[in-house]
Structure 1
Amino acid sequence: MSDNQSNYKMARQNGIVQPLLTDLYQITMAYAYWKSGKANDVAVFDLFFRTNPFHGEFTIFAGLEECLKFLENFHYSDSDIEYLRQTLPANIETEFYDYLKDLTCKDVKLSAIEEGSVAFPRVPLMRIEGPLIITQLIETTLLTLVNFASLMATNAARYRMVAGKNISLLEFGLRRAQGPDGGLSASKYSYIGGFDGTSNVLAGKMFNIPVKGTHAHSFVTSFSTLEDIHSVTLRHAVTREQCNLLELSLAWRKRLSSIMDVSPDEASDGELAALISYAQAFPTGFLSLVDTYDVKRYNIGLAPHRRNGRYNSNCGSDIPATTVDRTLRSGLLNFCAVALSLHDCGYRAVGIRIDSGDLAYLSILARDIFKQVAEEFNLPWFAELTIVASNDINEETILSLHEQGHAIDCFGIGTHLVTCQRQPALGCVYKLVEINGQPRIKLSQDVGKVTIPGHKEAYRLFGADGHALIDLLQRSTEAPPRTGQKVLCRHPFQESKRAYVIPSKVEHLYKVYWKDGRICVHPKPLSEVRERVQASLRTLRQDIKRNLNPTPYKVAVSDDLYSFIHDLWLQNAPIGELS
């Protein structure tokens, strides 16, 4: 095992991930292999995908750690064997069940790309070698562990790219995920892809992911009047004297109403009671929703934005004065009053969350209010209060908000992230490419489904500018490409597409992670895998990563592998007959 294993302990395997988490045909094939004497034939399988997701030109490989845990824990329990006896046909020989009971992955060898790396179509993410029966039995489980993980990490990485480096991203999707297992996986792999935290408490515990959250609208609406406040006092952070938070907040609300050009009579007392109560509970972490109440009444708003009866948000939205959110007249007024009261008690508020309405407009207006308050009362930190936005956000929403010049510091993203609504499946496949040293090829009228046969190695060749230029597949018997030496790279199926490459750097993509019944290279902690994603993405040119019409990244085969593919193709393709 590598040195990095000593300081890292993998999270426990989800109890659902077990040998019976598979398709029935894997078990029936296993019996047929066993009965026909092929159980110990030496097989090589490739696990790969054919098309990048989300109309993009890259994929993030994830799920390797879970695959290694699965191999490590692979064992049919007594109850598994009993269930199979009851489920499979009665003619199954008893000795087969005895064979399964003793079966482990000790004879399997798994090589893979490093988790968190960018990957591309046709380049195997993992190569699985070993006895045919066991390498077949683990197929479905490996696919389910890699497919969603890689899709989710890729989706998160795309959100990180469109959001930019300076905006925080939080995953809020547990309640919308495809069940608890989908929710946990989404939290884990969104963090790997570049998100900064999750609302999922169990994911935080299991995977050491920062957990973030504030309160829901129900907390605000559970308060009706100021009489609903159980206690109005808070100890000063420094002097420990009792502060009357209600009196301070009411005084600040009155004082702020003239500065903000709003009426204190419009602000909801129930909302103020809720914010005071939340501030008492979390005086050092006061971040609150400000959009619980929304009415359309008066032509009131911030003077700098009011012009001819309309409000100009300076962000592409020209909103009629009669439809200005009460967020501005109640939520923001109440928040600022409580935030300033907390400051009087020695604390600093964190910020606000906006979950509805015109996010660009409201964020800019909120920032203007914060700056105005900061200047009026000489509190520079108030201008920098955090503005969090949620509300069904996707990639296009973020791009649009950027175009409008929003003032948002953090996005909370749920449904579109965790369900991968733009593309719900990656489509990884698991194909036999060699048996007992003999190559195997799957032919199809759809050239995209023709497999690349044989035991292969993969290399990433870098150009003179330091960016990844092309991924090269070649037969394992070939000498690896060398830095500074010309390499002929060919399209696997189109004869005319070929080019010479002189790489400035050559990276061998595969490491052996599992062999002889043990983990050879231990997975890295999630924080390091997360860093690997960003480092790997930096090796790609910007045009490959762009959101609209990205440039395809090239995947090629060596000249030797090209000839090998086409010779085998001719050997296996039937000869037609004209009549």
Structure 2
Amino acid sequence: MCDNSELQGTTASSHNGFVRPLLTDYYLFTMAYAYWKSGKNETAVFEMFIRKNPFHGEFTIFAGLEECLNFVANFRFSDSDIAYLKETLPAGTEPEFFDFLRGLTANEVSIDAPPEGSVLFPKVPMMRVEGPLIVAQLMETTLLTLVNYASLMATNAARYRIAAGKNITLLEFGLRRAQGPDGGLSASRYAYMGGFDGTSNVLAGKLFHIPTRGTHGHAYITSFYDLGEVKNRLLAHHETGEPHDLLQLSVDWRLKLSESVLRVPAAEASDGELAAWITYAAAFPTGFMALVDTYDVRKSGLLNFCAVAMALHELGYRAVGVRIDSGDLAYLSNICRRVFGAIAEKYEVPWFADLVIVASNNINEETIVSLNEQGHSINCFGVGTHLVTCQRQPALGAVYKMVEIQGRPCIKLSEDFPKTTMPGKKNVYRLYGTDGHALVDLLQRSVEAPPCIGEKVLCRHPFQEAKRAHVIPSRVKPLLEPCWSKGALVAPLPSLEKVRAHVEASLKSVRNDHKRNLNPTPYKVSVSADLYSFIHKLWLQNAPIGELL
């Protein structure tokens, strides 16, 4: 991995040294040679799109555009690449082909795409690539690699954000479960883009300026056995600087709280756990958060935490809260909140009632929905495995299809309608209703005039003749914007923070019934009357005519 470079002006630099032209499928080179051998390198148009939304949902967050443009900006074959291809391609491949590859760049390629972070739907182009056939074809797998996981991950994160609500903090804890180091970095980046608030991944924090969060693990607690292991008992008062015995204060508070609030014997609480937290609090008096389920949340962890937290309070500090990593999260979080509230009231410490409660026990989207239904007191979810591995659906399935070559439309037919491509270079517009929400995405031939605000537009299903409707849009938004042209970025790329904000704004423009977890309403993607006729004319021209015998 190399350090990430900010993209500014008209150049781009990839943060990942592995993303280069050889990161592709072998058959694309055999195709490229056959194209070259036949003298076929006309201008072609490819479109990337999805056939189905992930996670049984009805929306997809488009992500990975910045890395695609990094790749395009650096598209060239090195001497070592050429040497490897000479060894790998079939014997008899003409030497002039390798000279041709050595001179390839993306200077004649143009790319149009929606802004990164946009909500997209099946059949809507995520990216339109236009340029010399061989270059555009060689880019296929790499572009799909950069978009598929990124969009899947950002969509997964957005679904967690919707399930949790806007007032719950979401932290990505998935590095150790991710598919390798690159998967871990990508997961952190696109989880943040999709709506998470921070990550445990320190390198991702450095590269992408994502807030990093973390406390301690069970090993820190179990490394302490008894109170005799507390070597430095003193902590200076936050305001006066006068040293006090944090160990003695914590022991005194444990006895007091066990009798007055928690009603559990202080003798049953782990001394090793208390020792661990006294030392941790001494190290981080303004950031004390404790993992309370190492032994027993009710009988040990909660009592020991509150004891140290109140000792810190005496010295002018405020604890942050607790993390629960196992057990009945709704039940335990509510117990913690009741205890915090009781201590706040009894000892007149109002802020104690609002201590943070973090839950991190194999959380997934369904867990959050269930906890919301049960009622809980959790402020923050730490999500790992299910988020970064996208366990509900491990791949997005975006495809990259040629739709036009040298001005001639291309169509791929299939008995399975979703796999039939829509021919020709197209534009796409999002039409909005009077309530500000998106109504329909309309695909048109690139030669058509865009739809107008306030004028009736006929929107047709691309393959089912009876499905059609008129729409009078109150707002029309073109989705495809120029990104790359004549060997340079068209405009500077937005920061990760701006893309994250665009995800939130884009989701707000879609009705809630399209975003709900259970039985979401399908969003309509339609074609213009002209494109509908164009598709079906080509279909009839290319479909073989059967013969009855």
Structure 2 length normalisation: TM-score? 0.97
The aligned counterpart of 2:367 is 397
| Kept after mapping to 2: 8 A contact 1:11/1:207 | no
Can you list the C-alpha shifts for 1:431-459, whole angstroms capped at 9, x where unaligned? 00000100000001111100000010000
Q: 2:305 aligns with which of 293, 313, 335?
A: 335
The aligned counterpart of 2:74 is 73
The aligned counterpart of 1:313 is none
What is the DSSP-based 3-state SS (H/G/I as helix, E as strand, rest coil) of the residue aligned with 1:104? Answer: coil
The one-letter code matched in structure 2 to 1:378 is E
Q: Distance in 2 between matches of 1:206 and 1:455?
A: 37
The aligned counterpart of 2:294 is 292
Distance 1:6 1:425, change over 3 A: closer
Can you list the C-alpha shifts for 1:394-422, whole angstroms capped at 9, x where unaligned? 11111111111100000000111111111
Q: Percent identity?
A: 66
Q: 2:282 aligns with which of 254, 268, 280?
A: 280
Q: Distance in 2 between matches of 1:405 and 1:443?
A: 51
The aligned counterpart of 1:436 is 406
1:235 aligns with 2:236: yes
Q: Distance in 2 between matches of 1:386 and 1:265?
A: 26
Q: Distance in 2 between matches of 1:517 and 1:17?
A: 18
Can you list the C-alpha shifts for 1:251-279, whole angstroms capped at 9, x where unaligned? 11111110111101000000001111111
Compare 522-531 and 117-126 and name the one that shifted more.
Answer: 522-531
Compare 468-477 and 335-344 and name the one that shifted more.
Answer: 335-344
Distance 1:103 1:11, change over 3 A: closer
Write out the 4+ residue segments of structure 1 that deviate beyond 2 Å after TM superposition. 4-13
The one-letter code matched in structure 2 to 1:207 is F
| Kept after mapping to 2: 8 A contact 1:8/1:525 | no
1:446 aligns with 2:416: yes
1:119 aligns with 2:127: no
Q: Distance in 2 between matches of 1:432 and 1:12?
A: 26
Alpha-carbon shift at residue 12 of structure 1 (Å): 4.2
The aligned counterpart of 2:3 is none
Compare 274-283 and 435-444 and name the one that shifted more.
Answer: 274-283
The aligned counterpart of 1:22 is 24
Q: Distance in 2 between matches of 1:206 and 1:218?
A: 28
| Kept after mapping to 2: 8 A contact 1:46/1:128 | yes
The one-letter code matched in structure 1 to 2:19 is V
Alpha-carbon shift at residue 146 of structure 1 (Å): 0.3
The aligned counterpart of 1:266 is 268
Alpha-carbon shift at residue 225 of structure 1 (Å): 1.0
Alpha-carbon shift at residue 90 of structure 1 (Å): 2.0
The one-letter code matched in structure 1 to 2:138 is L
Alpha-carbon shift at residue 379 of structure 1 (Å): 0.4
Can you list the C-alpha shifts for 1:459-494, whole angstroms capped at 9, x where unaligned? 000112111000000001001000000111100000
Alpha-carbon shift at residue 203 of structure 1 (Å): 0.5
The one-letter code matched in structure 2 to 1:121 is P
| Kept after mapping to 1: 8 A contact 2:362/2:383 | yes
Alpha-carbon shift at residue 24 of structure 1 (Å): 0.3
What is the DSSP-based 3-state SS (H/G/I as helix, E as strand, rest coil) of the residue aligned with 1:34? Answer: helix
Q: Distance in 2 between matches of 1:502 and 1:48?
A: 26
| Kept after mapping to 1: 8 A contact 2:403/2:409 | yes
What is the DSSP-based 3-state SS (H/G/I as helix, E as strand, rest coil) of the residue aligned with 2:266? Answer: coil
| Kept after mapping to 2: 8 A contact 1:30/1:136 | yes
The one-letter code matched in structure 2 to 1:267 is A
| Kept after mapping to 1: 8 A contact 2:160/2:365 | yes
Distance 1:142 1:510, change over 3 A: same
What is the DSSP-based 3-state SS (H/G/I as helix, E as strand, rest coil) of the residue aligned with 2:83? Answer: helix
| Kept after mapping to 1: 8 A contact 2:200/2:214 | yes
Alpha-carbon shift at residue 9 of structure 1 (Å): 9.8
Q: Distance in 2 between matches of 1:66 and 1:12?
A: 7
Alpha-carbon shift at residue 68 of structure 1 (Å): 0.4
| Kept after mapping to 1: 8 A contact 2:65/2:147 | yes
Q: Distance in 2 between matches of 1:10 and 1:273?
A: 51
Can you list the C-alpha shifts for 1:308-367, whole angstroms capped at 9, x where unaligned? xxxxxxxxxxxxxxxxxx211110100001111111222110000000000000000000
| Kept after mapping to 2: 8 A contact 1:59/1:150 | yes
**1:305-320 aligned within 5 A:** none
Alpha-carbon shift at residue 131 of structure 1 (Å): 0.1
Alpha-carbon shift at residue 522 of structure 1 (Å): 2.3
Alpha-carbon shift at residue 19 of structure 1 (Å): 0.7
CA RMSD in angstroms comes to 1.3
Can you list the C-alpha shifts for 1:274-324, whole angstroms capped at 9, x where unaligned? 11111111111101100000xxxxxxxxxxxxxxxxxxxxxxxxxxxxxxx
What is the DSSP-based 3-state SS (H/G/I as helix, E as strand, rest coil) of the residue aligned with 1:555? Answer: strand
Compare 511-520 and 342-351 and name the one that shifted more.
Answer: 342-351
**1:453-472 aligned within 5 A:** 453-472=423-442
Q: Distance in 2 between matches of 1:184 and 1:346?
A: 38
What is the DSSP-based 3-state SS (H/G/I as helix, E as strand, rest coil) of the residue aligned with 1:265? Answer: helix
| Kept after mapping to 2: 8 A contact 1:63/1:149 | yes
Compare 205-214 and 337-346 and name the one that shifted more.
Answer: 337-346
The one-letter code matched in structure 2 to 1:514 is W
The aligned counterpart of 2:57 is 56
Q: Distance in 2 between matches of 1:85 and 1:232?
A: 69
| Kept after mapping to 2: 8 A contact 1:442/1:450 | yes
The aligned counterpart of 1:95 is 96
The one-letter code matched in structure 2 to 1:472 is L
Q: 1:494 aligns with which of 464, 467, 472?
A: 464
Can you list the C-alpha shifts for 1:553-574, whole angstroms capped at 9, x where unaligned? 0000000000000000001001
Alpha-carbon shift at residue 8 of structure 1 (Å): 12
Q: Distance in 2 between matches of 1:90 and 1:51?
A: 41
The aligned counterpart of 1:201 is 202
Can you list the C-alpha shifts for 1:206-225, whole angstroms capped at 9, x where unaligned? 00000000001111011111
The aligned counterpart of 1:304 is none
Distance 1:154 1:11, change over 3 A: farther
| Kept after mapping to 1: 8 A contact 2:8/2:493 | no
Q: Distance in 2 between matches of 1:161 and 1:176?
A: 23
Q: Distance in 1 between matches of 2:204 and 2:393?
A: 24
| Kept after mapping to 2: 8 A contact 1:462/1:469 | yes
Q: Distance in 1 between matches of 2:114 and 2:289?
A: 41
| Kept after mapping to 1: 8 A contact 2:9/2:492 | no
Q: Unmatched 5+ residue regions in structure 2?
A: 1-5
Q: Distance in 2 between matches of 1:7 and 1:15?
A: 21
Distance 1:385 1:210, change over 3 A: same
The aligned counterpart of 1:128 is 129
The aligned counterpart of 1:86 is 87
Q: Distance in 2 between matches of 1:416 and 1:136?
A: 34
What is the DSSP-based 3-state SS (H/G/I as helix, E as strand, rest coil) of the residue aligned with 2:55? Answer: coil
Q: Unmatched 5+ residue regions in structure 1?
A: 294-325
The aligned counterpart of 2:452 is 482
**1:401-440 aligned within 5 A:** 401-440=371-410
The aligned counterpart of 2:147 is 146
1:505 aligns with 2:475: yes
What is the DSSP-based 3-state SS (H/G/I as helix, E as strand, rest coil) of the residue aligned with 1:209? Answer: coil
Alpha-carbon shift at residue 7 of structure 1 (Å): 9.1
What is the DSSP-based 3-state SS (H/G/I as helix, E as strand, rest coil) of the residue aligned with 2:412? Answer: coil
Give aligned pairs, total: 543
Q: 1:378 aligns with which of 348, 358, 373?
A: 348
The aligned counterpart of 2:35 is 33
| Kept after mapping to 2: 8 A contact 1:11/1:206 | no
Alpha-carbon shift at residue 11 of structure 1 (Å): 7.4
